[in-house]
Structures are given as structure tokens and as C-alpha cells.
Amino acid sequence: MRIGILNSGGDCPGLNAVIHGAVSTAANLGWEVIGFLEGFEGLLKDGDEGHMVLDPNRTIGIMKLGGTILGTTNKGNFVAKIGENGVSQVPQVTVDQAKANLKRLGIEALIVVGGDGSLTTALQLQDQGINIIGVPKTIDNDLAATAMTFGFDSAYSAVVDALDRLHTTAESHKRVMVLEVMGRHAGWIALYGGMAGGADAILLPEIPFRMEHLARFIKERESANRRSSLVVVAEGAHWETGELVAKEDRGTKGQVLLGGIGDRVAKVIQELTGKETRACTLGHLQRGGTPTALDRILGLRFGVKAVELIQTKEYGHMVSYQQYHVGSVPIIEAVAKLRTVDPKGEMVKTARAVGICFGDC
Ligand code: F6P
């Protein structure tokens, strides 16, 4: 038996743990594993340049490494979903080429480690007769049908670290510091990172904000003799008008590259409050680097489970984490809708209870 594995979309701490978990489990069963390079693109390459043979000798020790030994891309020939609703069909000629290569290599099933977009592609390949097992991956933690994805813990830990650092300089200078973090549709990184890192205000894509409310809150803090204020803003957060701040529109090649909301918010805070304000964008620092212990364990468990799902031929299913247990769900359940922060949910209520402002009142 020969199986394939690829990761697709943005990289994510814990990807190498998934690869190691899958390769070790397959080796115990006497199976061979082929790792495809640069996401789905590796499926299109003739000869040997699109893949590498993986065995435990190759994957021992990779668990502690960030990124992915297979390389990845969030662009290219297999993009099937742009944004939340922009679903398109992967061209038939591309699917046929991938199928022919999988047949040439004798691969019976393919593990696809990806987020919403990559799993949408995976589902289309499954519908075209390729045996797929999905593994959920995203630092944004916005996939439905799984309570958590690996990578999220590492990402929001980076936010906490950044806030700890910003706090000392903000206190010294009596400043407002605005930290822009990732999270295009869902504000989980901003919410968890902000709460754990002691942010005073958190702006999320799920809760439209008004600068007047935020400015009033900051002025009230000043009146209460607070030396500084920390504001965390998710890249996908927006005013009540719904306008997103973007750096680049990649057209049909990929998602709009968000970025810049932190600078905008900082500028208006300074104008409205008269308080010296600085902005900082955490960017890919929250996606790179060493995975946390939790992400290594979660990745490992997901990789092992993916191979078990091939054993039981549960194709079209995705590994899923629910109530401390790793199980599986149909991929369609994971990509049908995004898991976003509930503005009336327990986490937001808890944050409000400890005085965190969301800019909506
Ligand atoms: O989806 C994961 C993510 O990290 C988003 O939070 C962010 O908007 C996007 O990827 C950034 O993509 P890129 O690596 O192409 O800049």
C-alpha cells in the first residue's frame, strides 16, 4: 500500500508533527508514504521533482520545527475557494493530470492537510474519484466541525509575547499601543491572544466597532490614571460600514491580502484622544517559529488518526477534535461554514466582565 500526503495553504506550526505522525503510523503498517511538494502543485509534476519519499528516518526530529518540510502555497492551479463564499471548480484538465500522476505513482489514498480553501479543493478531488482524508489546519482556528486546529495555540502565544513586550514600553512612555494580528474572518487569535496578554481593547471581525467608543474608553482609562492602553485589532476587523483594510488584491489568484487596519486605528485614536499612539503589526511572526507543546501533540494525533481513517476507508472524512477526543467528520461539514467568534458567547462575555472594550459601546 502506498499513500500520499500534502499540505496546502498558509503554513502553520505543527504541520511537521502531522507529517511525522502519519509517516510513523503508515510505516508500522508496512505502507509507503509519498510527500507531495508545494501543496497540490506537486501532484502536477512529472518525474520525481514533485514529491519525496517519506519514512520515519526522514521525519524523526521534525516535530519541533515550524513550517513544513514539504513546502506549501496558498496560490496556484488548485485554488477553489477565495474568501468565504467564492467557490469555483478546479479545472478538469488539472484534476485529470493529478489523477494520472497519482495512478502512475500507485497512490491509493491522499491525506490533505489544509484549511477551508484547501479542504474545498480536496472535496472536489474526492468527488472526482481520488480517495481523500482531510486534516484541519489553520492558525485562524476558524474551521467548523473541529473545536481546535493545531497552529492556533502557537499563533496566539506569539500575540501574548508581543503584548508583554509592548506593555513595558507603553507604560514607560504613557502611550497607546495598537497591535494588529492575523484573523481575516474570525477573531480567535485576537480574542485569545488579547485576553491572555492583558489587552484593554480588542477589535474583532465579528463585532463592528466605532472609533468614538474606543476613544472614549481610552480617555476614561486616562482619567482613572492608567498610564497606557493596549489595543489588539484583528486584520479583518472593520468599522460599522463594513469596509476592510487591504494591502493587495490578488484577483483570481488568491485571497485579498489584508493589512493596515492597525495603522488606521492608531492614527484615529491619536486624533480623537490626543494620546501618543503607536501601531505594530505582528504579521508572519505569529505563523512562523517553533510549535508549542500543545500544537505538537495535536498535530501528532491528527497525523496518526488520518492514517487510521485510510485503514478503515473513511474517505471524504476529515480528522476532527471534539471534547478532548480526536475523531472524524465528513469534510463537507468542515467547509460548509466558518467557525467565528460568537459576539454573545461565553468568551466575549468573560472579556467584557473583566473590562475589555470591543469598541461597540
Ligand atoms: O489563513 C491564514 C492566514 O494566516 C490569515 O490569517 C492571513 O490573512 C493570511 O493567512 C496571510 O496570508 P499570506 O501568507 O499569503 O500573507
* pLDDT tens across the length of the chain (361 residues): 999 999 999 999 999 999 999 999 999 999 999 999 999 999 999 999 999 999 999 999 999 999 999 999 999 999 988 777 788 899 999 999 999 999 999 999 999 999 999 999 999 999 999 999 999 999 999 999 999 999 999 999 999 999 999 999 999 999 999 999 999 999 999 999 999 999 999 999 999 999 999 999 999 999 999 999 999 999 999 998 888 999 877 665 567 889 999 999 999 999 999 999 999 999 999 999 999 999 999 999 999 999 999 999 999 999 999 999 999 999 999 998 899 999 999 999 999 999 999 999 9
Q: Where in the chain is the domain with CATH 3.40.50.460?
A: 155-287
Question: What is the four-CA torsion angle of 339, 341, 342, 345, rounded to 10 degrees?
Answer: 120
Compute the distance between CA of residue 58 and CA of residue 111 in angstroms, rounded to an integer.
Answer: 18
| Binding site membership of 138 for ligand 1 (Cβ less than 6 Å) | yes
CB 32 within 8 A of CB 22: no
Among the options 140, 142, 200, 295, which is catalytic? 140
**Beta carbons within 8 Å of 355's beta carbon, 6+ residues apart:** 200
CATH of domain 155-287: 3.40.50.460
| Binding site membership of 257 for ligand 1 (Cβ less than 6 Å) | yes
Q: What is the pLDDT of residue 250?
A: 67
* pTM of structure: 0.95
Torsion sign (Cα): 120, 125, 127, 128: positive
- The CATH number of domain 2-150+291-334, selected from 3.30.365.10, 3.40.50.450, 2.120.10.80, 3.30.565.10: 3.40.50.450
Q: Which atom of ligand 1 is nearest to the CA of 236?
A: 8
Q: Where in the chain is the domain with CATH 3.40.50.450?
A: 2-150+291-334
Q: Which atom of ligand 1 is nearest to the CA of 115?
A: 1
Q: What is the pLDDT of residue 254?
A: 64
Can you spell out the DSSP letters for 220-234?
Answer: HHHHTT---EEEEEE
| Binding site membership of 74 for ligand 1 (Cβ less than 6 Å) | yes
**Beta carbons within 8 Å of 191's beta carbon, 6+ residues apart:** 202, 204, 341, 347, 348, 351
Q: How far is the CA of 334 from the centre of ligand 1 (A)?
A: 19
CB 203 within 8 A of CB 232: yes
Annotated catalytic, 96?
A: no
Q: Which atom of ligand 1 is nearest to the CA of 254?
A: 15
